[in-house]
Structure 1
Amino acid sequence: MSAEMKAEKAEAAAWFRTLRDQIVAKFEALEDSHDTGPLSDQAPGRFEVSETKRAAEDDADAGGGLMSVMRGGRVFEKVGVNVSEVYGTLGERAQNAMADRKGIPGMKDDPRFWASGISLVAHMQNPHVPAVHMNTRMFWTPHTWWFGGGSDLNPCIEYDEDTAHFHAQQKKHLKPHGGLLHPKLKAWADEYFYIPHRNRARGVGGIFMDDRNSGDWERDFALTQDIGRAFLPAFVPLVEKRRVQDWSEADKEAQLIHRGLYAEYNLVYDRGTKFGLETGHDANAVLMSLPPMAKWI
């Protein structure tokens, strides 16, 4: 495999875009089909799509992506589905982070990088419908490459059967990659999506991986694709089941307070948020994950 991996990069970026298109179409279909229950008399929501750019100090082409955001829909209060393909030279802070956390030698001598991925966060109108997060990505430097990502469910009102369905779909899609993989990635998600200063998880978990490089690019890419493929069958049935339920003011209050936890995690701990801001990607796209409204007590 060549050091530049041009064909592999193109294949990964194209897959993330395909997954984005599938999710956007399905979410708009959910808006259209919501014809009974709370807010069903509103106009269905639609995504607003804009291009994003990564800022480069020398004004060179540094890549960008598409930011797709829907606000004020029947089902989705705010949902963003972003794809990006960025490249250039890592700044000193990012170089040090890569060298320290990932143990990559030579980053200071050749700090070039390339990254592509999809990132999704959905905040729902109905408090009975769980919020959700999903992302998958590929990262390359001249020294190594890896995949990462996953998805996790963030309900403010928990239903055991919903949690069980979400995990079962993820387990089903990971099964072809070995029976031990799902428990490993589930435990990794429990550890990663944890808020230390609150001594609690931000949701009911899911799957997560980072630094995935088995030495077999095709194998690791296939795993990354199946993590992405698991998302819609894991999440959409929960939306269809819960979106028709009535809610109370207390339910909405619980949702807004739970969103505060989500915002705290993303601003304090999330690696993707930190990396996006440090490498000059469009701040609106990086912070797309923040909820439209939240409360703290």
Structure 2
Amino acid sequence: MTEMFDDRKAQAATWFRNLRDEIVAAFEALEDGPAAEPEAGRAPGRFEVTETRRKSEDGGDAGGGLMSVMRGGRIFEKVGVNVSTVHGTLNPKAQAAMAARKGLEGMREDPRFWASGISLVAHMQNPHSPAVHLNTRIFWTPHGWWFGGGTDLNPCLPRDEDTAAFHGVLKAHCDRHDVAHYPRFKAWADEYFHVPHRGRARGVGGIFFDDLNSGDWAADFAFTQDVGRAFLPAFLPLVERRATTPWTEADRAAQLAHRGLYAEYNLLYDRGTRFGLETGHDPEAVLMSMPPLASWP
């Protein structure tokens, strides 16, 4: 059983790394393409890649990953694409949270974990181009394994046709596995990406799922892969459509205010942010999602 899960861990970690490579290449190609023409005086953006490491509580190696960040591009004001594969033991607070969410009291006796995933957040130069988030991951303990993640669109100037196109691609990829997935995971995203203290959503939604363990590892992994595959065809056409749209200072003000909302959500409610900081991962990588500039009233 251990050897089988070691092989599955390797498959998942390799998949997330390959998805990272594909997205990084696509984003750099976008920086070179015709959608970047209005910013022709600015050099095409390129990712700066930094290796991240996580230390265990006793100071030993506990895995790590790659933090890839582009700043000040023609299309992207800031975008990060991180992958990580980490392991160790959950601290008492994380053990209690795991036991409460999954009913795993055994976590207190054997709190080992292993996790791998990809996390992406893009903040755009043009206020008409929507910001976006993507995350897919696998979490393993001696007591079980779970997949999770999702993607959601965060325009400051929403357009119905863009929202419909984004959701249409997600639905098509979900329907390959189960026609019940899209409505279920869309509703979950609407609930998860809600900002309670503002009484509103942080964007126009997408899909979100967590604690996915149907008992069929291959099927769950295949679905998680398709969530990742859906990202580029769902997002790139929107950027190519909007990146050349003229914008005003009022549009920029709306963008910065929306980023403030995004920052509030990530710092106060995002489960991945809390988990990363609580388990000792590189804080620069965990907080990669924060916008380069934001404003509040």
Separation in 1, partners of 2:88, 2:4: 13
- 1:283 and 2:283 matched: yes
Aligned to 1:45: 45
Aligned to 2:209: 209
Aligned to 2:69: 69
Aligned to 1:11: 11
One-letter amino acid of the counterpart of residue 189, structure 1:
A
Separation in 2, partners of 1:148, 1:232: 19
Aligned ranges 1:94-133 → 2 under 5 Å: 94-133=94-133
2:137 counterpart SS class: strand
For this pair of structures, how many residues does the alignment match? 297
Aligned to 1:55: 55
Aligned to 1:218: 218
Q: CA deviation at 1:34?
A: 3.6
Q: CA deviation at 1:101?
A: 1.8
Separation in 1, partners of 2:289, 2:205: 17
- 1:239 and 2:250 matched: no
Separation in 1, partners of 2:174, 2:107: 33
- TM normalised by structure 1 equals 0.98
Map Cα deviations across residues 230-249 of structure 1 (whole Å, 9 max, x no partner).
00000000000000111100
Percent identity for Structure 1 against Structure 2 = 70
Moved more, 193-202 or 35-44: 35-44
Change (3 A) 1:145 1:35: closer
Q: Is the 8 A contact 1:116 1:137 kept in 2?
A: yes
- 1:265 and 2:265 matched: yes
Q: Is the 8 A contact 1:37 1:243 kept in 2?
A: no
Change (3 A) 1:35 1:223: closer
Moved more, 158-167 or 34-43: 34-43
2:106 counterpart SS class: coil
Q: CA deviation at 1:176?
A: 1.2
Separation in 1, partners of 2:144, 2:188: 22
Separation in 2, partners of 1:35, 1:184: 35
1:219 counterpart SS class: helix
- 1:293 and 2:293 matched: yes
One-letter amino acid of the counterpart of residue 230, structure 1:
A
Q: Please, which runs of 5 or more residues in structure 2 have no aligned partner?
A: none
Map Cα deviations across residues 151-191 of structure 1 (whole Å, 9 max, x no partner).
00000001100000000000111111111111001000000
Moved more, 253-262 or 29-38: 29-38
